[in-house]
Structure 1
Amino acid sequence: MDIAVSVLPARTDEDRALIFDDGVVVLDGATSHGPDVPPASEYVDRLGAAVIARLNRHSDPASALAEAISATAHALHLRPGISPSSTVAVVQLAGDRVRVLVLGDTTVVTGRADGTHEVQTDDRLNELAIPQADEYRRRLASGTGYDEQHRELLGELQRAQRVCRNRDDGYWIAEADPAAARHARIVDYPRDALTWVIIATDGARDTIEALGIPWPEVAERSQADLDALLAQCHAWEADSDPDGRQLPRAKQHDDKTLAVVHL
């Protein structure tokens, strides 16, 4: 494997990309929009290290993630429902197989040997259609910008999301309940069926798609070119869409992470 990683932090700096012996892990910590939940930076640091330690011993990424969530919750004295959370994406080479795990809305794109590609993500949170999510996007599209009402809506949205967190009629995410790992979406590929894999956090994915840049083109970029791409995404947000009218999003700039794996 050849792995290139590019990370462009925003104000919160809660994305992490970690390379281990047989692959890569990407985490996207959820930004807290209220005082009732602490920032996710320490959580993703602990969880990332715990996942890597266990992936070096496990061939099953879900088991590794469950153990890592349990260890992180214990170390940080976390309780379900009122704790930081994070998406998790894993690409793991195991013999002649490539395993992909996705928990939360980080995206994994797999490039096939036949020239096609497939997008894997976990849309369960968006599928809940919580009213505040639709409302803040509608307001941004109408030109209200990132005003005080927008910030209040984000706080209300996060409280509504926590009610639905890690339950069968809601969505699943890495937080304090290791059972979430059993609900991750896992796809297993023959190694010779793939030529490349991309992991993109939503801050990178949404802007890349808004700019119309094809994923196979992203897969061909060098480390320096990936850095330049994320800088281009940041500049587009700042200069072309500072108020989120074209691409309604929670904040002007989100952390952006890309990991490109060539097999």
Structure 2
Amino acid sequence: MRVRIASEPAPGQAVNEDAAIHLGSLVGVFDGVTAPVGIDTGCIHGPAWYVQRLTARLAQVAEAQPAASLSVMLAEAIERVRRDHDGSCDLGNPATPAATVCLLRADDRHAEYLILADCTLVIDGADGVSALTDQRFGDAVARLRREALAKGGSEVPAGTPVPGKYALTNQPDGYWIAAANPEAARQAVTGVLDLHGATRVRRAALLTDGASRAVDDFGLMGWQDLLDILTEDGPTELIRRVREAEDTAKQPRYKRHDDATAVLCTFGSG
């Protein structure tokens, strides 16, 4: 497996709340959740601290438990970060620092993946290019928008914080995200991809939503084009194109710019 990585903070921001890892056969992207202004998180730490701790703890777990599943590894990493708060934070607060996650681990014949919240995994397989994500996050936000309208409220613009979202965090009727509850890892979207034979996957891209917005938000390209750009020009070029689109967007999200991380994995001889 060959891996190419780029991760950049939003323009003008000194701290990157995204992260990426490449540890042998394991790769991953992480997107720290920025709490809107005025939201009490109950924690003295921020999303950048959480992402840095989670990636470091995951690396420790992967080294100590190389045969464990991705869900087990991530659950243990979340538990270790929970202890890193050292009793100084209210970890029962649903707005406690959190991160979306996409992991992939390959051996000679298969690739195991895990997705939490709105990270995206793009795969180039026998049936063409497709994108996988954890749809529960988008479904929960869409439901809240519909409920707000049904109660006579005004429509919440796409991409802006939705009231009531935190009440659905890490709940069976809401969505799951890496935060303070290891159960989230056990509720992640998981699967296995073939790397040999007629159904083999040739390429895979792991994206935070700051990178996947090239397709999702801006429609600059399709998933096939995105994979080709990553392959031919590299992840940095994809992020550069996203930045151009952010600068010229007429209706930007509540954050015009976002941290962006992209990882390309190429398997076999392709």
TM-score (norm 2): 0.81
Please give the root-mean-square deviation of Cα atoms over the aligned residues, in Å. Answer: 2.3
Aligned partner letter, 1:137: P
The answer to whether the 8 Å contact 1:65/1:181 transfers is yes
Distance of 1:45 and 1:258 partners within structure 2: 17
- Aligned counterpart for 1:135 among listed residues 140, 155, 172: 155
- Choose from 35, 54, 61 the match for 1:47: 54
Evaluate the alpha carbon distance shift between residue 76 and residue 235 of structure 1 in structure 2; reply closer, same or farther with a 3 A threshold: same
Unaligned segments of structure 1, at least 5 residues: 141-149
Q: Report the identity percentage.
A: 25
Correspondence 1:13 to 2:12: no
2:168 matches 1:164 = yes
- Provide the C-alpha distance between the structure 1 equivalents of 2:250 and 2:16, rounded to a whole number of angstroms: 19
Give the equivalent residue in structure 2 for 1:215. 223
**120, 126, 130: which one aligns with 1:107:** 120
1:144 aligned partner:
none
- State whether residues 242 and 252 of structure 1, in contact with CA within 8 Å, keep that contact through their aligned partners in structure 2: no
Q: Distance in 2 between matches of 1:58 and 1:253?
A: 37
Question: Contact 1:70–1:178 at 8 Å: present in 2 too?
Answer: yes
Whole-angstrom CA distance in 2 between matches of 1:197 and 1:188 = 12
For the residues of structure 2 that align with 1:237 and 1:119, how far apart are their CA atoms? 22
Aligned to 2:61, what secondary structure does the other structure show? helix
Please say which of residues 178-187 and 218-227 is displaced more in the overlay: 218-227
Structure 1 or 2: more helix by fraction: 1
Gaps of 5+ in 2: none
Q: Could you tell me how far apart the structure 2 residues matched to 1:103 and 1:2 are? A: 24
- AA paired with 2:36? H
- Give, in angstroms, the shift of residue 190 of structure 1: 1.8
Q: Judge conservation of contact 1:88–1:104 (CA < 8 Å) in 2.
A: yes
Partner of 2:247: 238
1:90 pairs with one of 95, 98, 103: 103
SS at match of 1:120: strand
Q: What is the CA distance between 1:106 and its match in structure 2?
A: 0.2
State whether structure 2 residue 224 is matched by structure 1 residue 204. no
Distance 1:212 1:243 in 2: 15
SS in 1 for 2:261: strand
User: Where does structure 1 differ by over 6 angstroms across 4 or more consecutive aligned residues?
Assistant: none
Does the Cα contact within 8 Å between 1:98 and 1:190 map onto a contact in 2? yes
Of 21, 27, 30, 1:27 maps to 30
Amino acid corresponding to residue 250 of structure 1 in structure 2 = Y
How far off its partner does 1:165 sit? 1.0
Give the 5 Å matches for 1:68-79: 68-77=77-86, 78=89, 79=91
User: Tell me, what secondary structure is at the counterpart of 2:35?
Assistant: coil
Query: What SS does structure 1 have at the residue aligned with 2:102?
Result: strand
Note if contact 2:96-2:179 (Cα within 8 Å) is conserved in structure 1: yes
Q: Which SS does the other structure have where 1:28 is aligned?
A: strand
Deviation at 1:83, TM superposition (A): 1.2
Distance 1:242 1:24 in 2: 35
Shift of 1:88: 0.8
